[in-house]
Amino acid sequence: MEKKIAVIRGDGIGPEIIGEAVAVLDAVAALYGHTFTYDEVIMGGEACNRWGDPLPPEMLQKCLDSDSVLLGAVGGPKWNALPAEKRPEKGLLRLRSGMEVFSNNRPAKIWPQLADASPLRPEIVARGIDFIIVRELTGGIYFGEHRTDHAGEIKAVDVMAYTESEIERIGRIGFETARKRDKRLCSVEKSNVLDCSRLWKAVMHRLAEEYPDVELTDMLVDNCAMQIVKDPAQFDVIVTENMFGDILSDEASMITGSIGMIPSSSLGEGTRGLYEPIHGSAPDIAGKDIANPTGAILAAAMMLRYSFDLEREASCIERAVSSVLDAGYRTADILPAGEAGASCKKAGCRDMGRLIIEHLTKE
Ligand code: IPM
Ligand code: MG
């Protein structure tokens, strides 16, 4: 198979982790006889530095012309003072919206080898953590009107809006995702306060009639934040709007041990997707070869599975990650403190990439 992948290395630790993810993709391509070519796209802080625009139109076009997009992370304190429209994060939002990838899938699954890295009590972890957050990605408050009025007292306005069809299409992804798993879908909203959430809930219940095999429950977002730490085993698939999904997915990743391990996929109607680890650019550890590239490497695996339909190749990468963890290698973020850590081998970003490549085996 031949595929053209747009690669956005980004800022902070982005270039380091994506370097490892691309090396893993090349190794998998060699193992299974595929050819992946890469088109470098500049987005985020580096694009702000070069052009004063975090995502110039020709950079978006390169992504639209590719078979799929792999992204590290963007942003950092260097660009904090820029106006909202020129910030690196705005490039990411424009990319998501320009690619029309409205459905963001963020798995929260604990690797058994990393159970001690979870901040939750062992008896809670033992009940299992394996759920998916389906986050709406191109609507809601992220894409509503943003304005700051300076007449009189300064007033800032951010508008949250959802149309019925925007809710319906992400709702369907939620139901379909649940159908392929344990058939339990939890719709998360704030219908005791927000109109958007009341519409959300009504649409989910209308859709439920088409998916009688899936059990639908409703949960208010504040309660959900609490339930994720109290009893994460209760969740199979969560479907929620953009900002709630942003917040809950950070919380969900933390209980699995480290945000550094979690990949995500964003898809729209077609097969071209945007794949990224869910962590940020971590400028404090950039360039030190200590970042965990596993989230980015697993994002590359998700790309093989969901955009290129290469299931064997995707599971080959996931098995290699598992073997490297079995062999005791840990980057700093997943290295247990004290005695438990003594039996582990500390690995840097480059080590981790190389080890995962060395552990790739065909089934
Ligand atoms: C994420 C990030 C982004 C978001 C930022 C960088 C704009 O936090 O992907 O979760 O809020 O969506
Ligand atoms: Mg986030």
pLDDT digits (tens, 9 = 90+) for 194-237: 999 999 999 999 999 999 999 999 999 999 999 999 999 999 99
* Residue 338, pLDDT score: 83
- The span from the first CA to the last CA of the chain, in angstroms, equals 19
Site residues for ligand 1, CB cut-off 6 Å: 75, 89, 92, 246, 278
Which among 26, 39, 218, 250 is annotated as catalytic? 250
**Calpha distance 233→106 (Å, rounded):** 16
Q: In this predicted model, what pLDDT tens digit does every residue of 267-297 receive, in sequence order?
A: 999 999 999 999 999 999 999 999 999 999 9
Q: Assign 159 a pLDDT band (cuts: 50, 70, 90).
A: very high
- CA of 254 relative to ligand 1 center, distance in Å: 15
* Residue 340, pLDDT score: 78
* Residue 363, pLDDT score: 82
Q: In this predicted model, what pLDDT tens digit does every residue of 39-83 receive, in sequence order?
A: 999 999 999 999 999 999 999 999 999 999 999 999 999 999 999
Eight-class DSSP state of 244:
H
Mean pLDDT of 315-321: 98
Which ligand is nearest to the Cα of residue 74, counting in written order? 1
* Residue 301, pLDDT score: 98
Checking DSSP bridges between strand 263-267 and strand 273-277, what pairing results, if any?
antiparallel
10 Å CB burial of residue 210 (0-12, 13-18, 19+) is exposed
Read off φ and ψ for residue 276, nearest 5 degrees. -150, 155
Q: Whose CA is nearest to atom 4 of ligand 1?
A: 246
Tokens representing 362 are 């065909």
Decide if pLDDT at 258 tops 90: no
Alpha helical stretches, state H, the chain = 14-32, 45-51, 57-64, 88-98, 122-126, 164-179, 195-208, 221-230, 242-255, 294-306, 311-326, 338-342, 349-358
Q: In this predicted model, what pLDDT tens digit does every residue of 166-196 receive, in sequence order?
A: 999 999 999 999 999 999 999 999 999 999 9
Q: Which of 329, 347, 124, 337 is nearest to 231 (CA)?
A: 124
* Residue 257, pLDDT score: 87
Instruction: Tell me if residue 250 is catalytic.
Output: yes
10 Å CB burial of residue 54 (0-12, 13-18, 19+) is buried
On whether the CB atoms of residues 189 and 157 are closer than 8 A, the answer is no
Give the CA radius of gyration of the chain.
Answer: 20
Which ligand 1 atom is nearest residue 96's CA? Answer: 12
Instruction: Tell me if residue 116 is catalytic.
Output: no
Candidate of 246, 275, 278 to mutate for ligand 1, largest count of ligand atoms within 8 Å of Cβ: 246
Which ligand 1 atom is nearest residue 93's CA? Answer: 7
Decide if pLDDT at 348 tops 90: yes
Q: Whose CA is nearest to atom 8 of ligand 1?
A: 246
Which among 158, 195, 222, 326 is annotated as catalytic? 222
Those residues whose C-beta lies under 8 Å from the C-beta of residue 219, and which sit 6 or more positions away, are 186, 187, 188, 189, 227
Which ligand 1 atom is nearest residue 250's CA? Answer: 10
* Residue 272, pLDDT score: 98
- CA of 250 relative to ligand 2 center, distance in Å: 6
**Calpha distance 131→116 (Å, rounded):** 19
Decide if pLDDT at 117 tops 90: no
On whether the CB atoms of residues 142 and 241 are closer than 8 A, the answer is no
* Residue 337, pLDDT score: 82
Which ligand 1 atom is nearest residue 243's CA? Answer: 11
% residues pLDDT > 70 (the chain): 100
| Mean confidence (pLDDT) of the chain | 96
Tokens representing 294 are 């596993």
Q: Assign 128 a pLDDT band (cuts: 50, 70, 90).
A: very high
* Residue 44, pLDDT score: 97
**Calpha distance 304→313 (Å, rounded):** 7
Mean pLDDT of 301-318: 97
Q: Assign 355 a pLDDT band (cuts: 50, 70, 90).
A: very high
Instruction: Tell me if residue 142 is catalytic.
Output: yes
Least confident of 89-93, 99-103, 157-161, 257-261: 257-261
Higher pLDDT, 242 or 340: 242
